[in-house]
């Protein structure tokens, strides 16, 4: 590298056109000292005369990686630039760079040798050498990124303030224009809306074939795939960085579905997935992902403005999921037996539209039509279609802050609230049933005991082999529980170990009453590990029984009730009015954590957890040093004030005290944040906040303790929900 830089510094060339860069001869190579001097003078003329048009210097690493200027100098990366075997540097033209017409990438080996031999004769002008080196260094710095990244221009203070004021004004307008639907009269039973108009769903763009320079290889040979097979190959290439592509079931399912999309010739040729090379397609996909990330906010907002809103009863409402799912490979949760299968592209002909009769019917994409247009005001969905993997119906629904979702949640929490008034009677009933002569009654009683005390999901009947092996209370098998007469100092302990919803493991050791324990012993007799624990009971039977005890009562209501009552009890135990804001928020999150543990809301620790904790600890250490320094300065200021005795040093002491207090508050806030993160690294707090906790409990608690700081603990969606509750009254 040292030799190459020396050669570059000594060689001076005339500015030449980019098209000459491909030539084998380097401009000025092999000329005598006289010609070299002329070039130097010519260069000086250009510097002191009219400035020439400056051309960027092409950075190269080795001779082998040299490519033509047409490949290197581009406005922005193209699809055909991204292959695994190309090493060219791709970047934007940079203005005001020094003229370096010929570079090492454009010189032939022979011209390089001649340059090296005559290098000592061409280094007469030291000033020119310095300029050349400086320019080269500048160019290298600008070329650090392989791909160009468009940086947003920095905003001035005035622009930042203007944007802030605009945001405040927008929020105020939203608040004024908010639809206070809860103050209006409710529709008759079964009617959800009277007017509904929308633009239909947003469809993903059609598949674009691979560029000519990006290839798929089979057994080392280039293979041109048909468009249908090529698109499915791209789906697999997109996931090469993911562990799914290493799983046997995923690969087998993918290969089977991929072959269905191939032509007869392709099926005859491609017999083994291990011989397929998707490398170039994967590289192109990664480049496209980066390009999508750089899309402007305006581009994204344009799609939201067109498809993200609807008119519900002549009020503008936000739609939750307005995009049709793009085609791809099915992943599923856990070890799903159908992972790797092809999720086919949804066409307008597969979609049912729901809107009011007098509204404008959404226009389908050009050349297409809708499967059906309905005018059903007894449902809340705007569009629906059936996916091909499991046959589930997918819906486009309104946002969580909408009237329809708000009404549904309100009803859910009202039913859970009513349960509080009759839960004691229900518990007495299932305790009596534990001694019943009928097996089905005893099984129902034990299942209700688990649902009530452990907040287990009821579980639904599923076709074997169609979904992942997940279970709920009613679908527990013998293999999922172990009975212990004594364990860890407790008697009658039941050990649970099974996969619940989303293939999340539920593992718990729970002491139970003797009646439940003895019944479980009977249920396990003469059964194999794969047999059902509650073989006489189903979820439908359980819910039918519950609805007879209280209108609208289901097993899910028990889960909502127990989650909300647990939060309320924990907040009473943990709250302290004398705590500062950070400590109060920690208390709230700890109460929320107790609910999440009860409901088994787990998550994998974030990938960046260790790094973020290290960064936070670094900030804590720095703040401790700052606090120590502030205390030292305060002591010195007090000494100075005693010596002088006038008012000026006292003002300094006052400021230093304020600085110490500020540092202590900031340090405490960071330490609380570190504790909170560590405690909740494997607990998902958001699920219970959004789906199981009655917002009235939180609103009442925050109104007493720290209502102004609500935004620091909740997402925008939940803040809107709580604001709604505050408007209605928290009773």
Whether residue 687 is found in the same domain as residue 588: yes
What's the confidence (pLDDT) of residue 708? 55
Percent of the chain with pLDDT over 70: 74
Query: Residue 585 — very low, low, confident or very high, per pLDDT cuts 50/70/90?
Result: confident
Whether residue 243 is found in the same domain as residue 339: yes
CB contact burial 277-294 (16+ within 10 A = b; e otherwise): bbbbbbbbbebeeeeeee
What's the confidence (pLDDT) of residue 346? 96
Residue finishing a domain among 559, 594, 618:
559
What's the confidence (pLDDT) of residue 681? 86
Query: Residue 506 — very low, low, confident or very high, per pLDDT cuts 50/70/90?
Result: very high
- In DSSP terms, 384 is beta-bridged to 352, 395
For residue range 516-573, list pLDDT tens digits in order: 999 999 999 999 999 999 999 999 999 999 999 999 999 999 999 999 999 999 999 9
Pairwise CA distance, residues 355 & 195, whole Å:
8
Q: Strand, coil or helix: what is 42?
A: helix
Q: Tell whether 665 is covered by a domain.
A: yes
Q: Is the pLDDT of residue 497 over 90?
A: yes
Pairwise CA distance, residues 333 & 348, whole Å:
28
Residue finishing a domain among 108, 142, 176:
142
Q: Do the Cβ atoms of 385 and 352 come closer than 8 Å?
A: yes
Query: Residue 153 — very low, low, confident or very high, per pLDDT cuts 50/70/90?
Result: low
Q: Which runs of consecutive H residues, i.e. helices, occur in 297-341?
A: 297-307
Residue 481 vs residue 22, higher pLDDT: 481
Q: Do the Cβ atoms of 276 and 218 come closer than 8 Å?
A: yes
Q: Do the Cβ atoms of 12 and 63 come closer than 8 Å?
A: no
Q: Tell whether 290 is covered by a domain.
A: yes
What's the confidence (pLDDT) of residue 722? 55
> How many CB atoms are located within 10 Å of the residue 130 CB?
11
CA angle 629–634–640, rounded 5-degree value: 130
Q: Provide CB contacts within 8 A for 254, sequence distance 6+.
A: 236, 273, 329, 340, 341, 342
Q: Do the Cβ atoms of 475 and 456 come closer than 8 Å?
A: no
Whether residue 588 is found in the same domain as residue 627: yes
What's the confidence (pLDDT) of residue 463? 55
Q: Is the pLDDT of residue 696 over 80?
A: yes
Whether residue 287 is found in the same domain as residue 316: yes
For residue range 27-82, list pLDDT tens digits in order: 333 444 344 444 444 444 444 444 444 434 334 343 333 333 333 333 444 444 44
What's the confidence (pLDDT) of residue 71? 38
Whether residue 67 is found in the same domain as residue 194: no
- In DSSP terms, 317 is beta-bridged to 310
What's the confidence (pLDDT) of residue 719? 56
What's the confidence (pLDDT) of residue 234? 95
Whether residue 577 is found in the same domain as residue 673: yes
For residue range 221-231, list pLDDT tens digits in order: 999 999 999 99
Closest CA to 444 of 560, 536, 551: 536
- In DSSP terms, 342 is beta-bridged to 329
What's the confidence (pLDDT) of residue 164? 81
Whether residue 87 is found in the same domain as residue 212: no
What values do phi and psi take at 507, rounded to 5? Answer: -130, 125
Q: Considering only 91-100, 285-294, 341-350, which range has the smallest mean pLDDT? A: 91-100
Among residues 449, 506, 588, 692, which one is catalytic?
A: 692
Closest CA to 304 of 288, 318, 290: 318
Pairwise CA distance, residues 21 & 101, whole Å:
7
Q: Tell whether 43 is covered by a domain.
A: yes
How many structural domains compose the chain? 4
Q: Tell whether 150 is covered by a domain.
A: no
Whether residue 523 is found in the same domain as residue 629: no
Q: Do the Cβ atoms of 324 and 385 come closer than 8 Å?
A: yes
For the segment 349-360, the average pLDDT, to the nearest whole number, is 96
What's the chain's average pLDDT? 78
The two three-digit tokens of residue 249, written as one number: 């079931």
Residue finishing a domain among 559, 588, 617:
559
Closest CA to 376 of 522, 238, 191, 547: 191
Whether residue 107 is found in the same domain as residue 256: no
Pairwise CA distance, residues 257 & 232, whole Å:
9
Pairwise CA distance, residues 216 & 210, whole Å:
10
For residue range 586-610, list pLDDT tens digits in order: 888 899 999 999 998 888 787 888 8
Q: Tell whether 430 is covered by a domain.
A: yes
Range of the domain at 582: 564-728
Q: Provide CB contacts within 8 A for 185, sequence distance 6+.
A: none
Whether residue 91 is found in the same domain as residue 221: no
For the segment 680-691, the average pLDDT, to the nearest whole number, is 85
| Helical (H) or strand (E) element with 490 | strand 490-499
* Domain CATH number, residue 462: 3.90.15.10
Q: Is the dihedral of CA 432, 435, 437, 443 positive or negative?
A: positive
What's the confidence (pLDDT) of residue 73? 35
What's the confidence (pLDDT) of residue 718? 58
For residue range 89-125, list pLDDT tens digits in order: 443 443 444 434 333 333 343 444 444 444 444 444 4
Closest CA to 178 of 731, 697, 726: 726
For residue range 250-262, list pLDDT tens digits in order: 999 999 999 999 9
Whether residue 681 is found in the same domain as residue 546: no
692 a catalytic residue: yes
Q: Is the pLDDT of residue 88 over 70?
A: no
Phi-psi map region of 621: left, alpha, beta (phi>0 left; psi -120 to 50 alpha) = alpha
For the segment 320-342, the average pLDDT, to the nearest whole number, is 92
The two three-digit tokens of residue 722, written as one number: 């709580």
Whether residue 252 is found in the same domain as residue 104: no
Q: Tell whether 495 is covered by a domain.
A: no
Q: Is the pLDDT of residue 15 over 60?
A: no
Q: Do the Cβ atoms of 534 and 446 come closer than 8 Å?
A: yes
What's the confidence (pLDDT) of residue 645? 64
Q: Tell whether 11 is covered by a domain.
A: yes
Query: Residue 724 — very low, low, confident or very high, per pLDDT cuts 50/70/90?
Result: low
Residue 121 vs residue 400, higher pLDDT: 400
Q: Tell whether 504 is covered by a domain.
A: no
Q: Is the pLDDT of residue 26 over 70?
A: no
Burial tier of 730 (Cβ tally within 10 Å: 0-12, 13-18, 19+): middle
Pairwise CA distance, residues 327 & 242, whole Å:
18
Closest CA to 687 of 723, 717, 727, 728: 717
CA angle 611–595–615, rounded 5-degree value: 10
* Domain CATH number, residue 616: 1.10.132.10
């Amino acid at each position: 590298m040292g030799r190459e830089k020396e050669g570059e510094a000594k060689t001076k060339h005339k500015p030449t056109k980019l098209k000459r860069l491909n030539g084998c001869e380097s401009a000025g190579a092999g000329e005598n000292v006289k010609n070299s001097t002329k070039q130097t003078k010519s260069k000086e003329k250009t510097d002191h005369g009219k400035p020439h048009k400056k051309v960027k210097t092409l950075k190269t690493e080795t001779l082998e990686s040299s490519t033509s200027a047409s490949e290197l100098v581009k406005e922005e990366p193209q699809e055909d630039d991204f292959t695994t075997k190309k090493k060219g540097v791709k970047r934007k033209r940079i203005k005001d760079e020094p003229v370096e017409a010929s570079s090492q990438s454009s010189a032939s080996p022979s011209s390089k040798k001649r340059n090296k031999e005559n290098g000592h004769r061409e280094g007469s002008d030291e000033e020119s050498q310095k300029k050349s080196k400086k320019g080269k260094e500048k160019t290298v710095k600008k070329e650090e990124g392989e791909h160009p990244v468009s940086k947003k221009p920095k905003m001035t203070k005035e622009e930042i303030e203007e944007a802030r004021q605009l945001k405040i004004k927008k929020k105020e307008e939203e608040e004024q224009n908010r639809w206070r639907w809860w103050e209006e009269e409710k529709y008759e039973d079964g009617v959800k809306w009277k007017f509904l108009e929308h633009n239909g769903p947003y469809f993903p763009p059609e598949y674009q074939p691979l560029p000519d320079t990006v290839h798929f290889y089979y057994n080392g040979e280039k293979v041109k795939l048909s468009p249908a097979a090529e698109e499915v190959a791209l789906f697999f290439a997109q996931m090469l960085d993911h562990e799914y592509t290493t799983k046997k079931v995923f690969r087998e399912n993918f290969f089977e579905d991929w072959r269905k999309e191939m032509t007869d010739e392709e099926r005859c040729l491609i017999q083994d997935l291990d011989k397929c090379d998707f490398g170039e397609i994967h590289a192109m996909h990664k480049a496209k992902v980066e390009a999508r990330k750089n899309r402007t906010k305006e581009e994204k907002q344009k799609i939201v403005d067109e498809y993200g809103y609807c008119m519900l009863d002549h009020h503008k409402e936000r739609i939750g999921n307005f995009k049709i799912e793009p085609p791809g490979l099915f992943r599923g949760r856990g070890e799903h037996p159908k992972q790797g299968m092809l999720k086919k592209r949804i066409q307008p002909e597969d979609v049912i539209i729901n809107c009011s009769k007098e509204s404008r019917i959404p226009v389908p994409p050009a050349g297409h039509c809708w499967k059906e247009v309905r005018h059903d005001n007894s449902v809340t969905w705007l569009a629906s279609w059936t996916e091909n993997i499991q046959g589930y119906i997918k819906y486009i629904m309104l946002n969580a802050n909408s009237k329809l979702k708000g009404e549904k949640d309100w009803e859910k929490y009202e039913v859970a609230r009513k349960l509080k008034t009759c839960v004691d009677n229900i518990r007495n009933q299932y305790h009596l049933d534990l001694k019943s002569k009928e097996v089905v009654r005893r099984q129902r009683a034990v299942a209700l005991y688990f649902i009530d005390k452990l907040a287990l999901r009821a579980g639904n009947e599923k076709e074997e082999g169609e979904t992942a092996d997940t279970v709920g209370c009613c679908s527990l098998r013998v293999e999922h529980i172990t009975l212990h007469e004594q364990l860890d100092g407790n008697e009658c302990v039941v050990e649970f170990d099974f996969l619940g919803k989303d293939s999340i493991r539920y593992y718990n050791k729970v002491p139970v009453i003797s009646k439940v324990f003895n019944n479980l012993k009977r249920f396990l007799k003469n059964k194999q590990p794969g047999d059902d624990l509650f073989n006489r009971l189903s979820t439908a039977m359980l819910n039918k029984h519950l609805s007879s005890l209280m209108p609208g009562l289901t097993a899910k209501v028990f889960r909502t009730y127990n989650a909300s009552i647990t939060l309320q009890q924990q907040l009473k135990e943990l709250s302290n009015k004398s705590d500062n804001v950070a400590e109060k928020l920690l208390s709230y999150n700890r109460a929320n954590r107790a609910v999440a543990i009860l409901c088994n809301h787990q998550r994998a620790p974030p990938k960046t957890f260790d790094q973020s904790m290290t960064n936070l600890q670094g900030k804590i250490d720095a703040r401790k040093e700052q606090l120590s320094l502030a205390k030292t300065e305060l002591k010195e200021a007090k000494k100075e004030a005693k010596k002088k005795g006038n008012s000026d040093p006292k003002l300094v002491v006052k400021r230093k005290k304020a600085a110490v207090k500020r540092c202590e508050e900031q340090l405490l806030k960071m330490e609380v944040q570190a504790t909170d993160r560590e405690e909740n690294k494997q607990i998902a707090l958001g699920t219970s906040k959004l789906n199981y906790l009655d917002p009235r409990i939180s609103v009442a608690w925050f109104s007493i303790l720290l209502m102004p700081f609500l935004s620091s603990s909740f997402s925008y969606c939940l803040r809107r929900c709580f604001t709604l509750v505050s408007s209605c009254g928290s009773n």
